Every structure is written in structure tokens, then in C-alpha cells.
Amino acid sequence: KPGPTNCNSMSNPDPFQELVDSLRKVLLRSPVTIPSAPPSEEPPAPSTSSAIVPSSPMARPALYAGGVEECNGFLLQCSLVFTMQPALYPTDQSQIAFITSLLTGPALRWAETIWHQGGPAAHSIRTFITHFKEVLGRSDGEVSVGEQLYHLKQGVMSTQEYSLRFRTLAAASGWNERSLLTTYRLGLEPKLRLQLAALDDNMGLEKFIQLSLRCSERIQSYQCNQEPVNNALLHPSEPASPSEPEPMILESGRLTSAERQRRLTQGLCMYCGASGHVRLNCPLRPVRTAVSGIHTDREKMHPLTTNVCITTLSSSVVVTALIDSGSAGNFISGTLCRQLHLRTKTTSKIYQIQPITGETTSPTRIHRKCEPINLQIGILHQEKIQLLVLEGANVDIILGRPWLVKHDPILSWGTGEIIKWGKGCVTDCFPEIPRPVQKPLPVFTTSVESPIEKRSVQIPKIYSSYKDVFCPKRASQLPPHRPWDCAIDLVPDAPMPRGKIYPPWRRVHPSSTSPAASSFFFVAKKDGGLWPCIDYRIINQGTIKFRYPLPLVPAALEQLRSARIFTKLDLRSAYNLVRIREGDEWKTAFVTPTGHYEYLVMPYGLVNAPSVFQNFIHEVLREFLHKFVVVYIDDIMIYSRSEAEHHHHVAEVLQRLREHQLYLKAEKCSFHLPSVQFLGYIIDQQGERMDERKVSAVVSWPEPTTIKELQKFLGFSNFYRRFIHSYSNITAPLTTLLRGKPKTLLWTPEAAAAFQSLKSAFTQAPLLTHPDPDLPFVVEVDASTTGVVAILSQHHGNPPLLHPCAYFSRKLNPAERNYDIGNRELLAIKLALEEWRHWLEGANFPFQVITDHKNLIIPSSLVIVLLQIPILHHISMHDHPETSETPVNIIPEHIIINPIEWSAPPVVATPEPRPLPGCPPGRQFVPRTQRIALIHSTHTSLDTGHPGANNTLTLLSDHFWWPAMARDVRQYVQGCKECAMSKSPRHLPAGKLHPLPVPNRPWSHLGVDFMTDLPSSDGSTCFLVIIDRFSKFCRLIPQKGLPTALETAEILFNHVFCYYGIPEDIISDRGPQFISRVWRSFFRLLGVTISLSSGYHPQTNGQTERKIQEVGRFLRTFCHGHQDSWNQFLGWAEYAQNSLRQPTTGLTKRVWLQTCTLSGACALRHMHSQPRMRTQTHALSAAHAHSRHMHSDTHAQLEHMHSTFMLN
């Protein structure tokens, strides 16, 4: 008889140890043969895994932090590792160390104390695991498992989930199979338990579980194929018609005669075919409940239903709600709950729904309720309600007696309308009701997309798939973080605001603990409402400004010249669609009487808000800009030439807004209009007009009485100054009153007359046509003693008439008022050309400049000055008699200058038949009409690269001549746009420096340096500059990266030394390549000295530094539009630099390339020693003598320049 210890061991086994033993048995069933070791006299040590390969691969268990549920699984994984890999963990301490290495958090802290104490648990794996389970694992004794099994019920779990949970507990309980089967049966749901009631308990637990799973699947399949059974609580049910066939078993029709006879003979159920019951008591047969004995036609039944709008965090949907006064609760169907992804939780008690007959067979149980949802009925009535989840309902929502008691509505049972809401709804359910509802509320007119709208907005049907872009509820959701979040970067030591507290408000924001606190207050609006404002002035003063530009409105509207149809879109909650950059929210904090809050989205009032939002919306719609979209902050206009094209353009914009979660305000959008009001202008196919409402505001403006009122009037009217002819002259008496910042307004008769004249000018303002680059422009200018005016016009229509495109005016300053009439007229021309340069410079046709000054005589020098402006292609000046306020007609007397052509002028090929006296022999005289074209082609070609005035004059003087040639060249170069952008000085003129010694021959003294940090071009990011200090000849060698010292030396050897010989000296800066030991050793072996510039003194290698500046200027000139293509122009840059004449020697650098000889080589001497070369000796000797003569002359000139520089 076993002792007590064995009895306890058998009655209370360790389930974890049993699981490990069972796995070992499985692993040991097919042992792997291991080569036998030589016989040993000592018996082998006992091992439970001697038949397992020591190196079997095993995954490393996951880290364990001390969770109770994961305790046994973690220990099981560790035990399997020890079993499968015994060679890796042969001792207890290695196994304890392995387990400890996988611990983290509380479990690691517990193991740390065990390890440092050094007790039995730190040396014995069994003791360690025992302590481990006692501290971190749950007790798996008989009492705990038995209680769980006893109370385990299927409830809301599926049969599979219930079976899995039961099997897990049964494995650790130690109960016998019969007890487990009985407990499993009692825990099943009633319907399934009833189906399995006839089964014998002796069939075994596993087989019983499998049968229950199959039976549950058949029941679910049957319910899915049948119509929902009407519940008396949800809908009145009808008695079955005698003519309706009664359904039989699943997946079968009417019984055949043979099957019917078989079931009668064997005593089986005539409905499902099972034994143990008859058809009347068949559990699978639907229960038919009769409400009354009166038969009601289905067509005459009209239950009271209404449409309601359910709003969740992710969607809004319209569903049908049944108003049932006989329902004891408020319900939502389980299907709808799952479709909306509503979270549910178990109720504190289980509810049962019974039909009105009082039958209790298989009652419907309700044990779940959904999360609170927003429910809207009609336009104004909103509430938050929590509903019970009802499975099998044939309506979406049931509003029962609790809902009717709470809201106490007055219903019209005949029309199905809610006539009036209860008194409590006015305060609880109507948050902002303007006035009581006067007429009945239809129950079928709720709109899901915009339930609270001030006016009905019709979105074209062609855009019906984009209705979500106009949803106001989605716009109120918190937008996601994007790359364009609003950043608030503060300057160092920026002060924090300490705002005042103003009267309370109602909007809620997340509470804040920020050290900043801006003031919050309300400002009254014109309609009587309130506009919330936050005083961010202190934060704005310390914020680093984001300088993204806002579009110029007139320039933006010039894109619309060919548009025929327009659509205007307005973003909802514009700034609030951009998030504050994560971590900067505290800087937006503000205080109210109710607390301290901060913004998560970009508020109004931040100094960078307009620029940030403009940048954001430009990035979203960038590929549409300047094609068919104009954007100014939150206003978007789409323009097209045809209706079909417009539909495609609008759809593209709506799709892009949807992708970036941007939403529109439907009541402010306009679609497919021939004329649209945009940014204060009325725009149509013809052109632009002033907004009539703003014109009326100007006309009705009262006479100003204070300085502030006059400033408001001038600021308002200045917005439309481009529509008013001579605006500056008209307003001159008014602006004079503001001179000197006076405290009071001294109104004069002249100011009163100007005030009325400006009003009259607004009423007579013309329509401004859109500028068209395919038509010639006409610029009309005039000047007076107070200001200058100009008109930009074009000919339109048939016959063509002159229509204004824009007006320009400017008041003269005191110095300009001293000009004579001719210079004032010339100033007017200059200012007009500057104002409309972007149109005139790129015009396809010559434009005319018209002036009304009779005595204006422009000498040739002034014509050249005008032609230096790059925008001029053709200028025609006309004299005409002056009239009052009307632009004058053209007079034939004019001066015409031919358009500039890129190709070589014809004068190069066709000489002047009668040149002027004084033309040097060998040079060609250039007539006046071709001089500018010749200067332009010489100065801007790739092989010259925009040289300076002296170099340009030198290039022209070799072949051409005309009087005052130097003056014309200098004036042209000074007005060159590319040279002005690329050659602007960056520092003051430097003082004179001590020059370097003059070299004796070409390529004997070199200067080298790198130009780095260039944008990648064909893989190259820098280039090496090598310059000969004698001839100034340069080499430009691109590199894919900054080379090392050895690579730089190899570049010099391959590109210079092999062609021009070994130099005597190389000067460079103190870059890492030029101070390395490799560089010094290489050139020491070649006999070359190394000269390094002093620190922070690049003037030592000034010739190379200057060459880098010239090459950089060349690349900027030709690559400013495509900076990643500089490598393609580097060869042209080298060619242009070597083609320019050196002022010191008077020769081009390319001449020296043709005359230089290899240093140290005896080429000529070697040629003289060959008999067959003697015939060429005289020619070669002459060439050599000429080269030596050139070298000596050049050296003498360099020495002379050196001495002159030192003396000065």
C-alpha cells in the first residue's frame, strides 16, 4: 500500500511536469542512432535525453517579464531547449543562467536576488523552478481548476472557443472523464445542450466534444439560410398560413415517400430525422408565436419608424429606427453593431426577451451593450445614448419605453411624424437652437452628410463619389501629422507670455501644463456673433519666421487668360487642417477662466500660420499649379477651357484633397460658372472687374474726420489701384495730409475734391482684359509735375480695338520733381518697363512705347541705355498731340531698333559698302542697326561665357569697329541681367598684396585647388582646378568625390605632367590632400617643391581662387535653371577661360598651349641627330626660336607688371 506521499503525488499531479514528460516520450519514440563510443569501465551517467541529437536546432524563447499567464509556457520552452540541446546546458547552473538571461522587468529583479543570495535555488534547477512557480506562476491546484471548470459556461463564446478553454482546464484538473463530460455538457448553451440531450455519456469526452462542434456548425448554417424569426417585442408576427409548407430538415425539400415510410417505421422525428423525440417537440423546428387570432394583411402594416443618423469616430451613417412603446429597453442589432465596428462590453446582468404570449421556451438572452453613440433625429435633436445589442433583429435600432419616457415626444400616429419634443430636449438635446420648431418634423428627411447646414447646397452629380470631401463632421476630426506640420521654433531666451483671463467660453481643448499662457478673448462679428481670439503677440515676437511667400493676387490672376469655365472651392477650418508639430503644442497654450489649454492643430493668430498653410496647400496641389489651379491660402479656383476638360480637372483636385484628408465647405463652393468672384475680383472670359459690393462701399464711404479713417479709406481703395487711371495723381492731395505723421486731420478743399474724384473714378473703372503673350503690347506713358502714369494695353476684337490690361501710377519724390519734362517722361518709361517686365521681356512680338511729349528727342546714347534692359525686343516711340484724359493716337515719326537674334548678325558676312572714315584696316565696320546684336552674340555665347567689358571689347576689336565702341560695350555689359545675378560683389575691395615671383616658362609653376559641394551631376560633385601661373592656362577635371592625396597626384600626372612636363613648384591651400605624407613624398621624388598658403589666407593662391570664381560664375550663368547639369558645361567653361586674351601678355592662353615644350626633354636636339630629320631642321629651329622669343617677351611683360604693382 502506497504511503501518504505517493497518494498526494497521485491525487495532485504537476500538470507542467506531465506535459514535459509526455513531450519527452514523443521525442524518444524514434531515437536517432548515435555512433557508439569505446567501451568504458565506468557506467554512464543517467540521462533522460541520451537518444536525442545534442545539436538539434531550437528557437530561443521570448523574454519573460513575470506575467502569470505566460509562466508555464515559458518554463516549457526552456525545458525543451535543455532536452533538445543537452550538450549546451549540461549543468544546473548553466540552465539557471540561461533562464535568467531571458528574464526582464520584475522577473529579472527577483532572479537577481536569488543569484546574489547563493542559496539552494541558485545551484539546483529543480529548486529554482519550484521557487520560480511559487513567486511568478499561478497555483494550478485542484481547488483553483475545479472552481474554474465548475463555473465555466459557454455564454457569448462560440462552441470552438468554449471547447478550447474547457480542454485547457481539464488537462490540469485531474478529474475523471465522466465528470469532465458532465461538466462540459452543462456548460453548453441551452439550444445546443438540448440537441445533444439524447446522446449517451459513455461515448467519451473527445467524441462528445467533436459531435457538439459539428452540431453547432449545422445550427449556424441553418440559421444563416433561414429568414430571421420575428420577435414579438420587435415586430408583430403573423400566424402561419395553412397553405404555407412547413420546412423540414436543413438542405432538404419535401420528404419522399420512401423516406417518410422509413422514419415512421423506425420511430424517427419527421422534421429532422433524429431519434428520441417527435416532430412536435423537435428542437430544430422554428417556434411560431401567435399574437392574436386575427389575420392582418402584410400590406396594411405600417410600423412607426424614422431615419436616424449615427455618428462614430470613423463614420456617419443613416439607419432605420423603430419606435416601440411596448419595448422595455433600447436596442441595436448585432449586425449593425459589427458593421460600424462598435465596441461592446458585457452587461452586469443577463436580460431575457419573451414574446407577449408569455412562452419561455428558449428565450432570447441579451448580455452585451455597445459603447455610447451620437444619435441624431431630424435637424436639431442630438443625444448620446447607449444601446443593448440584440441579435436577430430585423430593424437597425429599437427605441423603446425608456427613450420615450426621457424625451416625451408628441407623435402623429397617422402621418408618422414627431410633432413636438419634450421640455427637457430644449436644454439637453438642442445645443444651439435659434428658435422653436414651428412645423412638424418629417421622420424620413434626415441628411447624413450635412445634418446642420444653413442652406441647401447642390453638388453636381458628376462629383457624387466625392461627397465625403464635403462632410463637415470629418473636417472636425483631428488631422494626422504630416511633413508640413506647423513648427514653432523660438529664438534663444525668448520670453514666455503671461496672459490675462477674460470672460469664460465654451469650447474644450486638452488641458495644458505649459509654461506659456496667452490671453483668450472674444471679438464681436458684424452678424452679432463672437469670434474667438488669442493674443499670440509675445510668442510671435520670439518665433523664427518662416518666409514662404504668399502669391501676388494680380500675378496669380494673369494665368486665366484662356479660361472659359470656373469652379471655386473653399476649405473648411483651413488652418485647423494642419497639426502643430509634435512637441511644439505647449507653445500655443492659452488661459481662460475654466483652465489652461493648448492647441493640437494650427490656430489663427500665429505669425507663421499663413506661410505654413500656403506651403502645405501648394505641396498638395503643386502639379496642378499654373496649369488649371490658382490657390491663395484656403481659396482654390479651378479654370479650364472646356466643360469636359473642367470635369476632369475638378475631379483631380477633389481626389487630391481626399488623399490628404482636406475637406471643403460646400455652402461656399461654386461649380461650373462662366463668371466667378475670387479674391475681391469678378473674373470671366473677357477679363477682370471690381467687385460691385466693394465699389458700392467706396462710393458710399463718408468723408473722413480722423487720420485713422483716412488711412482706412486709402488702404481700401488702394486694393483696386490697378483699375484706376492716374490713381497716384488723384490721391496726391489725400496722401499729402498724412505727411509727417500728423495727430489731427486738416481737411482741405483740395482733399475734398480728390475724395470725390476718386469715388467717381471707381464708378468709371473699365474692364481689364487678360494679358495675352500672343498679341503685341502697347505701353502708353505720361508724366506730370506730381507723378507718372502708364497703361498696358492690347488690341482685341474685330476690328481690333485697344483695351487696357493694367494701369500703373506713382507719385514723384522731391528729387524727381526737379527733373525736366524730358527726363520725367523717360522716368515714366523706365518705371513702366520695370512694372510689366515679366510680360514685356517674354513677349513674342515687339511692343510699342508711346509718349505724348512733342519735344522729346532721344539721342543714340539714350537708345542704347534703353536697349540694355533685357526685356526689350522692340521699342517704338511716337510723338502725338496731348489731349485731356484720353490716350492719344500714334504718330508715324518714330525710331525702330531691330529685334535681337541669337544667330550671328548678317553684317559679319556682308561688309558695309561705304565704311566711315577712321575704320582701321583689317577690321569690319558695323552699322548702327547691328551693333547691339553683335555685342549680344559675342558676350553671351558658350565659347566666351559672359566675359567682362574689357574682354568683350577685346574679342570684338579683333574683327570689328565702329565709333564709341568701348562705350557701347561697357553700357551693354553693365545692363546684362545674367552678369548682374552671377557677378554681384560679395565684399569690399581688398588691399594690395605682395605678388608671387614671376615664373620663367609655361607650366613651371602651378596652382591647384578644388571646387566642392556642388549638386551631383552625372555622379560628379566637385572638380579640380589646375592653373599655369605663367600663361594663365587652366584645366578643369570633374571628380565623383573628393579624391585622396594619391588620387590627386595621379590626376596631375595623367592630365598635366604627361602633356606639359614636370613643374618646379605647386602652390595649394592646406587641404588634407596637400599636407599628407603621400603628397609630399610623391613630389619630393619628382623634384617638385610644395608651397602651402597660410591659414585663412586664400589670397596666397589668388590666381586659382580667382579662376574658381570665374568658373563658378560661368556655371551659374548657364546652369541656374538646371543646377544638376553643370558637368555638361564644364568643358565649355574651360574652353571659354582659355580663349580670353590675357591683359598682361596681350595673347590668349591657347597660344601658349601651342608654343610650350616639354621641360627637361631634348626633342629638338634628338631631331638634329637623325639624318632623315635634317630636312625639317630649319622649320623646327625657326619655330623654336619664335617660341623662345615669345617666352622672353612675356616674361619681360610680367616683370614690368610686377614692378609697376610694387611701385604703386
Whether 143 has a pLDDT exceeding 60, the answer reads no
pLDDT tens for 950-971 read: 888 888 887 888 888 888 888 8
Please indicate, yes or no, whether residues 521 and 657 belong to a single structural domain of this protein: yes
Nine-digit cell string for 67: 506575467
**Residue pair 1011/1113 in contact by the 8 Å Cβ criterion:** no
**DSSP β-ladder status, 595-597 and 518-524:** unpaired
**Residue pair 235/394 in contact by the 8 Å Cβ criterion:** yes
pLDDT tens for 248-276 read: 333 344 677 777 777 777 777 777 777 76
757 lies in which domain range? 691-764
Report CA 950 to chain centroid distance, whole Å: 50
Conformation bin of residue 155: beta by default, left when phi > 0, alpha when psi is -120 to 50:
left
Element housing 131 (H / E): helix 125-136
Q: What percent of the chain is modeled with pLDDT above 90?
A: 4
Q: How far apart are CA 686 and CA 683, in angstroms?
A: 8
Report CA 256 to chain centroid distance, whole Å: 70
Which residue did the predictor score with more confidence, 221 or 1019?
Answer: 1019
Q: What is the pLDDT of residue 1?
A: 36
Residue at 290 is within a domain: no
Nine-digit cell string for 805: 490690361
Which residue did the predictor score with more confidence, 498 or 740?
Answer: 740
Nine-digit cell string for 807: 494701369
Nine-digit cell string for 29: 519514440
Q: What is the DSSP letter of 890?
A: P
**pLDDT bucket at 892, cuts 50 / 70 / 90:** very low
What does the pLDDT average to over 303-309? 79
**Residue pair 773/842 in contact by the 8 Å Cβ criterion:** yes
How many other C-beta atoms lie within 10 A of the C-beta of residue 797?
A: 9
Burial status of residue 283 (CB atoms within 10 A of its CB: 0-12, 13-18, 19 or more): buried
Nine-digit cell string for 95: 540552465
Whether 1053 has a pLDDT exceeding 80, the answer reads yes
Residue at 801 is within a domain: yes
The runs of H, that is alpha helices, within 643-775 are: 643-659, 692-699, 707-718, 727-736, 749-763
**pLDDT bucket at 1007, cuts 50 / 70 / 90:** very high
Nine-digit cell string for 538: 509675445
Q: What is the DSSP letter of 227?
A: P
Q: How far apart are CA 1204 and CA 1193, in angstroms?
A: 16
Q: What is the pLDDT of residue 555?
A: 75
Tell me the range of 276-285, 379-388, 523-532, 1077-1086 where mean pLDDT is highest: 1077-1086
Please indicate, yes or no, whether residues 208 and 335 belong to a single structural domain of this protein: no
Please indicate, yes or no, whether residues 676 and 771 belong to a single structural domain of this protein: no
Q: What is the DSSP letter of 664?
A: B
Please indicate, yes or no, whether residues 712 and 575 belong to a single structural domain of this protein: no
Residue at 998 is within a domain: no
Torsion of CA 1012, 1014, 1018, 1020, to 10 degrees: 10
What does the pLDDT average to over 44-62? 54
**Residue pair 620/656 in contact by the 8 Å Cβ criterion:** yes
pLDDT mean across residues, the chain? 74
**Which of 685, 700, 715 delimits the end of a domain?**
685
415 forms bridges with which residues in the sheet? none
Q: How far apart are CA 789 and CA 780, in angstroms?
A: 8
Please indicate, yes or no, whether residues 758 and 841 belong to a single structural domain of this protein: no
Please indicate, yes or no, whether residues 786 and 878 belong to a single structural domain of this protein: yes
Nine-digit cell string for 1090: 610644395
Whether 1201 has a pLDDT exceeding 50, the answer reads yes
**Which of 764, 798, 818 delimits the end of a domain?**
764
What is the chain's length?
Answer: 1208
Helix axis angle for 177-187 and 205-225, nearest 10°, is: 20
Q: What is the pLDDT of residue 480?
A: 82
Q: How far apart are CA 501 and CA 517, in angstroms?
A: 10
Which residue did the predictor score with more confidence, 1067 or 109?
Answer: 1067
Q: What is the pLDDT of residue 1026?
A: 93
Is the peptide bond between 804 and the residue preceding it cis, with omega within 30 degrees of 0? no
Lowest mean pLDDT among 484-498, 559-573, 590-604: 484-498
What does the pLDDT average to over 1128-1150? 77
570 forms bridges with which residues in the sheet? 635
Residue at 411 is within a domain: yes
Please indicate, yes or no, whether residues 963 and 1045 belong to a single structural domain of this protein: no
Nine-digit cell string for 561: 487668360
Residue at 539 is within a domain: yes
Element housing 351 (H / E): strand 344-353
**Residue pair 314/341 in contact by the 8 Å Cβ criterion:** yes
Q: What is the 3-state secondary structure (H, E, C) of 955-997?
A: HHHCCEECCCHHHHHHHHHHCCHHHHHHCCCCCCCCCCCCCCC
Amino acid at 210: Q
**DSSP β-ladder status, 848-850 and 876-878:** parallel
**Residue pair 565/639 in contact by the 8 Å Cβ criterion:** yes
Report CA 101 to chain centroid distance, whole Å: 45
Q: Which long-range contacts (CB under 8 A, 24 or more apart) does 1194-1197 make?
A: 1194/1030, 1194/1031, 1194/1145, 1194/1147, 1195/998, 1195/1000, 1197/1144, 1197/1145, 1197/1146
**pLDDT bucket at 228, cuts 50 / 70 / 90:** very low
Buried b or exposed e, range 215-242, using 16+ CB within 10 angstroms? bbebbeebeeeeeeebbbbbbebbeeee
Whether 180 has a pLDDT exceeding 90, the answer reads no
Residue at 961 is within a domain: yes
Which residue did the predictor score with more confidence, 1180 or 992?
Answer: 992
Q: What is the pLDDT of residue 236?
A: 37
The runs of H, that is alpha helices, within 737-876 are: 749-763, 821-835, 837-840, 860-867
Please indicate, yes or no, whether residues 965 and 817 belong to a single structural domain of this protein: no
Q: What is the pLDDT of residue 1023?
A: 94
Q: Strands, E, within 54-168: which ranges? A: none
Report CA 610 to chain centroid distance, whole Å: 16
Element housing 676 (H / E): strand 676-678
**pLDDT bucket at 424, cuts 50 / 70 / 90:** confident
Helix axis angle for 928-940 and 965-974, nearest 10°, is: 50
Lowest mean pLDDT among 658-672, 753-767, 835-849, 1104-1118: 835-849
Please indicate, yes or no, whether residues 407 and 370 belong to a single structural domain of this protein: yes
**Which residue is associated with the grid cell 430544430?**
284
Residue at 771 is within a domain: yes
Check the CA dihedral 335-338-342-344 and report its sign: positive
**pLDDT bucket at 842, cuts 50 / 70 / 90:** low
**Which of 140, 169, 184 delimits the end of a domain?**
140
Nine-digit cell string for 1070: 592646406
**pLDDT bucket at 128, cuts 50 / 70 / 90:** confident
Please indicate, yes or no, whether residues 525 and 636 belong to a single structural domain of this protein: yes
Q: What percent of the chain is modeled with pLDDT above 70?
A: 71
How many domains does the structure of the chain reveal? Answer: 9
Residue at 256 is within a domain: no
Q: How far apart are CA 245 and CA 145, in angstroms?
A: 50
Q: How far apart are CA 752 and CA 479, in angstroms?
A: 53
**pLDDT bucket at 855, cuts 50 / 70 / 90:** very low
pLDDT tens for 1168-1194 read: 344 444 444 454 455 556 556 666 666
pLDDT tens for 27-38 read: 444 343 333 334
Which residue did the predictor score with more confidence, 489 or 754?
Answer: 754
Which residue did the predictor score with more confidence, 525 or 1157?
Answer: 525
What does the pLDDT average to over 774-787? 86
Which residue did the predictor score with more confidence, 139 or 1083?
Answer: 1083
CA–CA distance from 847 to each of 183, 738, 855, 896 (Å)? 102, 38, 22, 11
Q: How far apart are CA 32 and CA 878, in angstroms?
A: 111
**Residue pair 568/637 in contact by the 8 Å Cβ criterion:** yes
Amino acid at 1047: E
What does the pLDDT average to over 808-826? 84
Q: How far apart are CA 747 and CA 756, in angstroms?
A: 13
Q: How far apart are CA 867 and CA 849, in angstroms?
A: 13
Q: How far apart are CA 121 and CA 110, in angstroms?
A: 12
Query: Domain with 932 in it: what CATH number?
Result: 1.10.340.70
Lowest mean pLDDT among 73-87, 95-109, 298-312, 993-1007: 298-312
**Residue pair 538/517 in contact by the 8 Å Cβ criterion:** no
**Residue pair 950/969 in contact by the 8 Å Cβ criterion:** no
**pLDDT bucket at 1010, cuts 50 / 70 / 90:** very high
Buried b or exposed e, range 906-944, using 16+ CB within 10 angstroms? ebeeeeeeeeeeebeeeebbbeeebbbbbbbbbbbeeeb
Q: How far apart are CA 886 and CA 352, in angstroms?
A: 93
Q: How far apart are CA 28 and CA 1126, in angstroms?
A: 74
Element housing 1060 (H / E): helix 1058-1060
Q: How far apart are CA 267 and CA 628, in angstroms?
A: 82
Whether 1005 has a pLDDT exceeding 50, the answer reads yes
Please indicate, yes or no, whether residues 532 and 643 belong to a single structural domain of this protein: yes
Query: Domain with 1039 in it: what CATH number?
Result: 3.30.420.10
Query: Domain with 573 in it: what CATH number?
Result: 3.30.70.270
Please indicate, yes or no, whether residues 888 and 930 belong to a single structural domain of this protein: no
Q: What is the pLDDT of residue 1008?
A: 93
Nine-digit cell string for 611: 506661410
565 forms bridges with which residues in the sheet? 640
- Among 51, 59, 104, smallest CA distance to 80 is for 59
Q: What is the pLDDT of residue 1036?
A: 93
Cα atoms in the 13 Å half-sphere on the side-chain side of 140: 22
Lowest mean pLDDT among 236-240, 373-377, 383-387: 236-240
pLDDT tens for 894-931 read: 333 333 333 444 445 444 545 566 788 778 888 888 88
- Among 916, 834, 904, smallest CA distance to 872 is for 834
